[in-house]
Structure 1
Amino acid sequence: MQLILVRHPQPDVAPGICYGRTDMPTSIDAIAAVAASLRAAGLPGALPVFASPLLRCVQLARALGAPVTLDARLAEMDFGAWEMRPWEAIARAEVDAWAADLLHYRPGGGENVLAVAQRVAAFRDALRRAGHPAALLICHAGTMRVLSALHAGGSIEEAALRAASSPHRIGYGEVLVLKD
């Protein structure tokens, strides 16, 4: 199976804000630019398109003009009470507690990394069972890191730790291709 992962365009949020599961739009110009880039690369073509139900992904998926299946398992991590707060305003002790237990700590009382990895793995497994040889997924940097870590193999716990430990270097609108 080949997965073509696309990160959503930049959302309308100030830099330095924690915004995992928060639903927010992106600018029409940002959507148009990423959609044009994808179309120039021949995407989505005949591929099935799946997207996170968060608006920043839905807007891009719909701009491509192909049928899209929304799936909550592709959503970004829920940071609970940290959502929409500046990262610098989150107590250092809370961030340190998360760093000390990446798998199980629930930042802001939200979701832990292991739970994210489990739901993303459930989506990937369902997609495989459906028999799609390839699919286009419009999602989030966190989801993309988890899918990449799962693709590398090992237990779900190992994949979750790899995803959480990897530096965040996935740009808005970036495409990542995973092939079995």
Structure 2
Amino acid sequence: MELILVRHPRPVVAEGICYGSSDLPADPDELARVHASLRAGGLPGDVPVFSSPLRRCADLARLLSPSVTFDARLAEMDFGSWEGRSWNDIPRADVDAWAADLLHYRPGGGETVFEVALRVAAALDAIRAHGAERAIVICHAGTMRLFAALADGTPAGQAALAAASKAHRIGYGETHRLGLY
């Protein structure tokens, strides 16, 4: 099976804000640009589309297909009380505590990276069970990193650590194709 992973367009939010699971809309101009780019790039129109229900993903998914499967397990990590705050205003000691225990620390009292990996793994299983040869998944950078780490059957804990340690940036509207084992 091939997954075509697409990161949502840039959301309407100030630079440097932690927004994880906050339900922000996509910037309208960016939404139009990403949609046009995907269509011009030959994104198949006859495959199932799965999406995070957060508006920045859902708005793009609805432009790509009249029939979208929304799955909350595809949402970005919940950063609890960090949501909506400037990263610069989050105490350094809290960020350091998270970095010291990526798997189990709850940033802002939200989700652990391990919990996110478990739900993304469950979403991946559901997409596989759909039985399609290819599928489009509109999601978030963290979700995309987890899909890449889980694709070969890596256990969720190891996948969570691998995804959390990825230093490369995934741009808004960026597409990755991923072959599953």
Report the TM-score, using the length of structure 2 for normalisation: 0.96
* CA shift for structure 1 position 145: 0.5
- The runs of at least 4 consecutive aligned structure 1 residues that moved more than 6 Å come to none
What corresponds to 2:26 in structure 1? 26
* CA shift for structure 1 position 64: 2.0
How far apart, in 2, do the equivalents of 1:121 and 1:77 lie? 14
How far apart, in 2, do the equivalents of 1:73 and 1:44 lie? 24
* CA shift for structure 1 position 45: 1.4
Structure 2 counterpart SS, 1:143: helix
Structure 1 counterpart SS, 2:69: strand
> In 2 relative to 1, CA 65–127 (structure 1 residues): closer, same or farther, beyond 3 Å?
closer
What corresponds to 2:140 in structure 1? 140
* CA shift for structure 1 position 29: 1.2
Structure 1 counterpart SS, 2:3: strand
Q: Counterpart of 2:106 in structure 1: which amino acid?
A: R
What corresponds to 1:110 in structure 2? 110
* CA shift for structure 1 position 128: 1.3
* CA shift for structure 1 position 168: 4.5
What corresponds to 2:100 in structure 1? 100
Please list every run of 5 or more consecutive structure 2 residues that lacks an aligned counterpart in the other structure: none
What corresponds to 1:40 in structure 2? 40
* CA shift for structure 1 position 152: 4.4
Is residue 126 of structure 1 aligned with residue 103 of structure 2? no
What corresponds to 1:78 in structure 2? 78
Please list every run of 5 or more consecutive structure 1 residues that lacks an aligned counterpart in the other structure: none
How far apart, in 2, do the equivalents of 1:113 and 1:17 lie? 19
How far apart, in 2, do the equivalents of 1:150 and 1:20 lie? 20
How many equivalent pairs are there? Answer: 180
How far apart, in 2, do the equivalents of 1:154 and 1:62 lie? 31
Is residue 3 of structure 1 aligned with residue 8 of structure 2? no
Contact 2:49 2:67 in 1 (8 A): yes
Structure 2 counterpart SS, 1:3: strand
What corresponds to 1:60 in structure 2? 60
Deviations 1:111-130 (A, max 9, x none): 00000000000011111122
* CA shift for structure 1 position 66: 3.4
Q: Counterpart of 1:158 in structure 2: which amino acid?
A: Q
Contact 2:49 2:65 in 1 (8 A): no
Contact 1:31 1:63 in 2 (8 A): no
Structure 2 counterpart SS, 1:138: strand
How far apart, in 2, do the equivalents of 1:88 and 1:152 lie? 36
What corresponds to 1:16 in structure 2? 16
How far apart, in 2, do the equivalents of 1:14 and 1:45 lie? 33
How far apart, in 2, do the equivalents of 1:172 and 1:41 lie? 15
Structure 1 counterpart SS, 2:5: strand
Deviations 1:5-44 (A, max 9, x none): 0000000111110000001112221111100111112224
Report the TM-score, using the length of structure 1 for normalisation: 0.96
How far apart, in 1, do the equivalents of 2:32 and 2:154 lie? 38
How far apart, in 2, do the equivalents of 1:141 and 1:75 lie? 10
Moved more, 142-151 or 41-50: 41-50
